[in-house]
Amino acid sequence: MRLFGWVGNFSSAVRIPVMVMLLMAAVSIVLSERVLTRLSQNQESYLQGLASSYLDGVAASVSPSILRRDSWEIYDTLLRMKPHKASVLPRETIVTDADDIILASDKPEAHPTLKLMGKAFRGEFKNTQMRLDTTSELAFQMRPISHQGETIGKVYVVFDASSLLQERRDVLLALLLTNGLLTVLLAGVGFLTVRRMVRPMQILESHLKNATSGGLEPISNEEFQKAGRDAKRIFAAFNQLVSAERDREKLVDSLTKEERLACLGRLASGMAHEINNPLGGLLNAIDTLKKHGDRKSVRLQSTDLIRRGLLGIRDVVQATLATYRPERNSRSFTGQDLSDISLLLRPELKSRSQKLKITNQQSLGVFEGLPAGPMRQAIMNLVLNAVKASPDGAEILLAIDQTNNASTFSIIDQGEGLSDPESKILESRQIKGVPDGISGLGLWVVRQIGNEINATFTIRANKPRGTIVTMTVPTQRSEAIDAAA
Amino acid sequence: MSYSCKRITTSRRRFVLSSAALLLAPKASFAQKPRKSAIRFGLTPVFLNDDLQLLSVIRTYLEAATGYKIDLTTRRTYQEVTALLISGQLDAAWICGYPFVKYRTELDLVAVPQWNGKPLYQSYLITKTDRNVTELSDLAGDIHAFSDPNSNSGYLVTMALLHKNELNSETFFEKTLFTYSHRNVIRAVASGLVQSGSVDGYIWEIMREIDPDLVAKTKIIRKSEWFGFPPIATSRQFADSPKIKALKAAFLASNNTEDGRAMLNYLRLSGFTQAPSSLFDPVAQNLKSLKGVL
């Protein structure tokens, strides 16, 4: 299992040939074992047949001589019967009487005439069954010789089985070489085939990897033409996917632009509303001055009214300027920006009879390192989302905590909570496109800003009702502001 | 022994041998019907009778020299050839001195081979080269190989020697066996099948030239006195026949022709000579000394 696990770490182009090689090796071992076993059986059967035939001949020829105990006749017969060109030659043939007294052998010096056969040599023979000793490469067989139902002697034969065993070794070597070559050949073929097979997958994998880093590109025509029929289908599907994704990105861009326009509309609407409110009073004051300007008290009251109206208009204009003025990119977020946010959101809050409460606003200093523009945009979007989620007349709380390392902005509403896709947008840094099921782009924009300023978002329930969305922004150096802007 | 007794004994022996010859060689007796133009010549295992080239050399020369077709007959034992000869189924045969002496009354000499210029040879007692023995007494307890029970050099000489030394082959040797060929005696000793053997000295010397590796494994312990070389004999009934006369002339003149010299060279002989039967008296003396033993 560990082997398979280890092999599994490699690519298919390596894994499959390795598996083919292992499989072939296993098949080779099994086949070789079967062939050698069968060869051994055949050889032993052949040897047994040869030995039986030789022993039959010897037994028939020497029987009369054994009865006469004629050692010379036995010896002469053994020499005359000894084959010289057989593949398996008898190395020694010994004829004894029934008591293992040697009558003659074809090697009289090794087996002296009329001596009792040595116990060690006798022990090499296993009754009448042939015994093949692969170490000494000798085969031993004994055959009793009977005459009228009585054993009159025995023939012991030692065969030289080296040629058979050499044949076995040759066959084994041939098997190993053949199977080895076949294994290497098949592994090579397997490697090339699999490489060819997985090549489209590798192309696809490469394009998908590029896609995760923003480089989603269709598969080129050149690669398309090299691919097989199945791969072409997959490539076509991938290219369709790329095309669809590009359309989706265009749509997102378009929606983003629309959202910006909507924001601009809301801003213009808010500004118009803020300006329009004192404008009526200003016009009335002017009319009053025209009619009753001669009266000092009226004049003073009207001019004061005009002054307050104009101050309100100035505030709105200043807030707008603060938001869109050219130098905003390099400015750090401050408590004044929170006032601007409050001012900008006032029309939206008023329309829902809602209130925005900002905690610790008076004690807040400069949020060093946090770019004002993106921060204002992000907080404003989060508050707008809270306004939208909360019922009419609800109070929305913006709690701010400022430390040396990080600043946290918690927006607490009384709504029903964020949906899963909405939560996912904020919590996951990997969201590239706009997920399905999202009507607006506010949260997506917040996420993008969060990525820029390295902010993290947590969402938890606000008991008994509502949601707490917390944005934590680490304190950044000034260079980061430029980068994030 | 009186003359009449000897005649009876001789007749009985002749009858037994004739019967044995009929039993042992029925095929020969019918297949080898006497043909007018053929000389039936027998060879005993004194010589290398399994050497087909030798048979061919002898046949070639004798046919050329006698003008007769030569039918060569070989048998495994001396007794078989001797029986065929005495029974008249062979015109002549190359036999051993011992059967000649044994059946001297029925046989007549045709010619006697000469080895190294003399019609004499010896019997050798041999053993393995690597064995540390020097005399007969060292061979006690051996398995001993004889050539043939009717061989002079391969049996009778050793038996007479043992008898002379008041020894008995049955007790002196652990076992004795017959190989029915002098060459086989050498093979048996050289291989170690037996520890010693009695062999024709002439054969041992020839074998030393023909098969030096085999003979080198044996050594001579004792050489016997000289005996008459195994002769070419004929049945007395054919002694004066034209065939035998032609055969005798052919053997005696074997040095005169190319084929004859080829035969002599092959046999490593000097030639053939006429010799008196007294040449075989030493054999007869041995036989006589063993009377009652054999």
Element of type H or E holding A231: helix A229-292
B33 in contact with A, Cβ within 8 Å: no
Residue B94 pLDDT class (50, 70, 90 cuts):
very high
Pairs of CB atoms within 8 A across A/B = 33
Alpha carbons B289 and B268: distance in angstroms, whole number: 32
Mean pLDDT of chain B: 87
Nearest Cβ partner for B177 among A70, A109, A112:
A70
B214 in contact with A, Cβ within 8 Å: no
ipTM of the complex: 0.81
Q: Judge whether A88 and A161 are in contact, CB under 8 Å.
A: yes
Contact across the interface for B194 and A71, Cβ inside 8 Å: yes
Q: Tell me, what's the pLDDT at B50?
A: 59
B266 in contact with A, Cβ within 8 Å: no
Cα angle value A90/A95/A96 (rounded, 5°): 145
Q: Tell me, what's the pLDDT at B269?
A: 95
Q: What is the pLDDT of residues B105-150, one digit of tens each?
A: 999 999 999 999 999 999 999 999 999 999 999 999 999 999 999 9
What residue ranges of chain B are covered by domains with CATH 3.40.190.10? 39-118+229-280, 123-225
Alpha carbons B38 and B28: distance in angstroms, whole number: 14
Least confident piece of the model among A268-277, B46-55, B188-197, B264-273: B46-55
Q: Chain B: nearest CA to A176, how far in angstroms?
A: 46
Tell me which chain A residues have a C-beta less than 8 angstroms from the C-beta of B143: 71, 113-114
pTM: 0.61
Residue A112: exposed, middle, or buried by beta-carbon count in 10 A (0-12, 13-18, 19+)?
Answer: middle
Please give the residue of chain B at the shortest CA–CA distance from A71. B177
Whose structure tokens read 């060690």? A120
CA atoms within 13 A on the CB side of A86: 17
Contact across the interface for A71 and B143, Cβ inside 8 Å: yes
Contact across the interface for B188 and A72, Cβ inside 8 Å: yes
Tell me which chain A residues have a C-beta less than 8 angstroms from the C-beta of B184: 72, 76
Question: What are the residues whose beta carbons fall under 8 Å from the beta carbon of B183, sequence distance 6 or more?
Answer: B48, B203, B207
Q: Judge whether B128 and B219 are in contact, CB under 8 Å.
A: yes
Dihedral sign from CA coordinates of A113, A116, A118, A123:
positive
Contact across the interface for B179 and A76, Cβ inside 8 Å: yes
Contact across the interface for A112 and B194, Cβ inside 8 Å: no
Q: Chain A: nearest CA to B175, how far in angstroms?
A: 9
Contact across the interface for B191 and A109, Cβ inside 8 Å: yes
Nearest Cβ partner for B177 among A71, A109, A112:
A71
Q: Chain A: nearest CA to B139, how far in angstroms?
A: 16
Q: Chain B: nearest CA to A152, how far in angstroms?
A: 19
Task: Say which CATH topology domain B39-118+229-280 has.
Answer: D-Maltodextrin-Binding Protein; domain 2 (3.40.190)
Q: Tell me, what's the pLDDT at B19?
A: 46
Q: Chain A: nearest CA to B174, how far in angstroms?
A: 9
Q: Tell me, what's the pLDDT at B200?
A: 95
Question: What are the residues whose beta carbons fall under 8 Å from the beta carbon of B18, sequence distance 6 or more?
Answer: B83, B86, B87
Would the pLDDT of B213 be above 70? yes
Q: Judge whether A382 and A415 are in contact, CB under 8 Å.
A: no
Residue B294: exposed, middle, or buried by beta-carbon count in 10 A (0-12, 13-18, 19+)?
Answer: middle
Whose structure tokens read 């004889």? B146
Contact across the interface for B193 and A114, Cβ inside 8 Å: no
Contact across the interface for B145 and A109, Cβ inside 8 Å: no
Longest dimension (CA), chain A: 177
Task: List the single best residue of A95, A111, A113, A115 to mutate versus B (max B Cβ within 10 A).
Answer: A113
Beta partners for B42? B73, B93
Would the pLDDT of B74 be above 70? yes
Alpha carbons A433 and A414: distance in angstroms, whole number: 29
Question: What are the residues whose beta carbons fall under 8 Å from the beta carbon of B128, sequence distance 6 or more?
Answer: B189, B190, B192, B195, B217, B218, B219
Contact across the interface for B191 and A113, Cβ inside 8 Å: no
For domain B123-225, the CATH class is alpha beta
Residue-wise pLDDT tens for chain A (485 aa)?
A: 555 566 666 766 677 778 877 887 888 888 888 888 888 888 888 888 888 888 999 999 999 999 999 999 999 999 998 888 777 789 999 999 999 999 999 999 999 999 999 999 999 998 788 888 889 999 999 999 999 889 999 999 999 988 888 888 898 888 888 888 888 888 788 778 877 777 888 888 888 888 776 677 888 888 888 888 888 888 888 888 888 888 888 888 888 788 778 877 877 777 787 788 778 888 888 888 888 888 888 888 888 888 888 887 887 777 777 666 555 456 788 888 888 888 888 878 888 889 988 887 777 778 877 888 888 888 888 888 888 888 888 889 999 888 888 888 999 998 887 777 777 778 777 655 555 555 566 787 888 888 888 888 988 888 888 889 999 988 875 554 444 44
Tell me which chain B residues have a C-beta less than 8 angstroms from the C-beta of A75: 188, 191, 193
Q: Chain A: nearest CA to B162, how far in angstroms?
A: 22
A28 in contact with B, Cβ within 8 Å: no
CA atoms within 13 A on the CB side of B116: 8
Q: Chain A: nearest CA to B179, how far in angstroms?
A: 6
B79 in contact with A, Cβ within 8 Å: no
Task: Tell me the one-letter amino acid at A291.
Answer: K
Contact across the interface for A75 and B175, Cβ inside 8 Å: no
Q: Tell me, what's the pLDDT at A186?
A: 80
Give helix then strand counts, H and E, for chain A: 13, 12
A108 in contact with B, Cβ within 8 Å: yes
Tell me which chain A residues have a C-beta less than 8 angstroms from the C-beta of B175: 71, 113-114
Tell me which chain B residues have a C-beta less than 8 angstroms from the C-beta of A104: 193
Please give the residue of chain B at the shortest CA–CA distance from A65. B177
B188 in contact with A, Cβ within 8 Å: yes
Q: Chain A: nearest CA to B220, how far in angstroms?
A: 20
Contact across the interface for B193 and A108, Cβ inside 8 Å: yes
B178 in contact with A, Cβ within 8 Å: yes
Averaged pLDDT, B59-81: 92
Task: List the single best residue of B178, B184, B191 to mutate versus A (max A Cβ within 10 A).
Answer: B191
Q: Chain B: nearest CA to A118, how far in angstroms?
A: 17
Name the 3-class secondary structure at A421: helix
Q: Tell me, what's the pLDDT at B275?
A: 94
Tell me which chain A residues have a C-beta less than 8 angstroms from the C-beta of B194: 71-72, 113
Whose structure tokens read 């076995």? A168
Task: List the single best residue of A62, A65, A69, A72 to mutate versus B (max B Cβ within 10 A).
Answer: A72
